[in-house]
């Protein structure tokens, strides 16, 4: 096997071999329902589920860096949102949900501790969440425009990436349940191979589906029931090898029937009750493409 790149940091897409990933131990101190808009979790289960999740990632060959909990920031366990990892360094974001606004500063500490290069950071009036971005390849970034990512955020991300030859395509997300609800681009789209994805069609922008078709990307459709239990938020370890929150038997069966290797984790508290799937729990630091 030879690698087409051998960087220390960076992600050229969302499906190449996940080599290194950053997670954060969940806090058990904070207002989950009042400020985080969670369904009240079992705080003991938060810790055990998260530990099992990190152990699963390690068993699949990932190097897992674990950041400490931040008391009071219950959403900080969802490490995918405060930054966008690019092939050229991290972009620290500015978050629209008020209770999450301190998270990028905490994230900067983690990146500096690890030595991860920082490409830039969003500034007022921009805001964006990492859950609104999907890398198709090293030159193609998709961004959802909704309540968590505004036009100024998209413009600033584009300005940081255009000098590196990256095309940024934006897609309007629907109102759905309004500003307080979580609806990211990755709520409706998860790539699982270079030519395959999982999609929740009812909330997927038409232009997004047409764009996927133009790139010869086919998809598996998720039901509304399983979208609500994170069936459309799937973490790809490498092409056709994925991590899925347990409790989504229909999409699990579809994937297995198509030859996809599915690894389940019990995320009833750490994932489903906070509306965040396995991708949300991770900040990818390095993915490596390879040629056999």
Residue 180: partners with Cβ closer than 8 Å, 6 or more residues away: 37
Reported as half-sphere exposure (CB side, CA atoms, 13 A), residue 47 has a value of 7
Tokens representing 92 are: 């620290």
What 3-state class would DSSP assign to 279?
coil
d(CA 27, CA 103): 13
Give yes or no for a contact between 205 and 175, defined as CB atoms under 8 angstroms apart: no
Q: What pLDDT, in 10s, does the model give residues 105-143?
A: 999 999 999 999 999 999 999 999 999 999 999 999 999
pLDDT at 107: 97
- Span 91-100, mean pLDDT? 96
Spell out a b/e string for 5-32, using b for 16 or more CB atoms within 10 Å of the CB, else e: eeeebbbbbbbbbbbbbbbbbbbeebeb
155 pairs with which residues across the strands?
Answer: none
φ/ψ (deg, to 5) at 63: -85, 120
Mean pLDDT of the chain: 95
Residue 3 has what pLDDT?
34
Domain with residues 2-291, CATH architecture: 5-stranded Propeller (3.75)
Q: How far apart are CA 221 and CA 223, in angstroms?
A: 7
36 vs 160: CA distance, rounded Å: 30
Residue ranges per structural domain of the chain: 2-291
- pLDDT at position 181 is 85
From 29, 32, 33, 95, select the one nearest 68 (Cα to Cα): 29
Backbone angles phi, psi at 277, to 5 degrees: -90, -170
Q: 20 φ, ψ to 5°?
A: -140, 140
Judge whether 139 and 289 are in contact, CB under 8 Å.
no
Q: Which of 130-139, 164-173, 282-291 has the lowest mean pLDDT?
A: 282-291
For residues 61-86, average pLDDT: 97
The whole-angstrom separation of Cα 275 and Cα 204 is 17
Burial state string for 155-188 with b = 16 or more CB within 10 A and e = fewer than 16: ebbbebbeeeebebebbebeeeeeeeebbbbbbb
Structure confidence at residue 36 (pLDDT): 66
Give the list of residues 6+ apart from residue 34 with CB closer than 8 angstroms, or none. Answer: none
| Average confidence (pLDDT) over 3-29 | 88
Q: For 193-225, what is each residue's pLDDT tens digit?
A: 999 999 999 999 999 999 999 999 999 999 999
Supply the pLDDT for residue 292: 40
């Amino acid at each position: 096997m030879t690698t087409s790149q051998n960087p220390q940091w960076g992600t050229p897409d969302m499906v190449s071999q996940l080599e290194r990933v950053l997670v954060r131990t969940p806090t058990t101190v904070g207002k989950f329902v009042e400020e985080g808009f969670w369904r009240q979790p079992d705080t003991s289960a938060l810790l055990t589920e998260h530990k099992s999740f990190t152990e699963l990632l390690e068993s699949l060959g990932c190097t897992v860096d674990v950041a400490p909990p931040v008391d009071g920031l219950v959403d900080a366990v969802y490490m995918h949102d405060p930054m966008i990892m690019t092939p050229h360094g991290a972009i620290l974001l500015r978050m629209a949900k008020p209770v999450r606004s301190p998270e990028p500063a905490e994230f900067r500490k983690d990146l500096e501790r690890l030595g991860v290069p920082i490409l830039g950071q969003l500034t007022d009036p921009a805001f964006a969440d990492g859950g609104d971005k999907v890398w198709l390849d090293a030159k193609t970034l998709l961004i959802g425009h909704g309540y968590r990512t505004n036009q100024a955020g998209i413009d600033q991300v584009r300005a940081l990436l255009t000098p590196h030859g990256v095309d940024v395509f934006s897609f309007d997300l629907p109102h759905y349940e309004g500003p307080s609800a979580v609806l990211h681009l990755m709520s409706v789209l998860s790539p699982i191979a270079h030519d395959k994805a999982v999609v929740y069609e009812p909330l997927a922008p038409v232009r997004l589906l047409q764009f996927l078709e133009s790139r010869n990307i086919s998809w598996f459709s998720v039901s509304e029931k399983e979208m609500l239990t994170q069936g459309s938020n799937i973490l790809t370890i490498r092409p056709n090898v994925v991590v899925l929150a347990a409790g989504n038997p229909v999409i699990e069966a579809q994937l297995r029937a198509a030859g996809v290797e599915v690894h389940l984790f019990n995320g009833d508290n750490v994932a489903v009750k906070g509306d965040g799937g396995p991708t949300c729990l991770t900040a990818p630091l390095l993915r490596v493409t390879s040629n056999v």
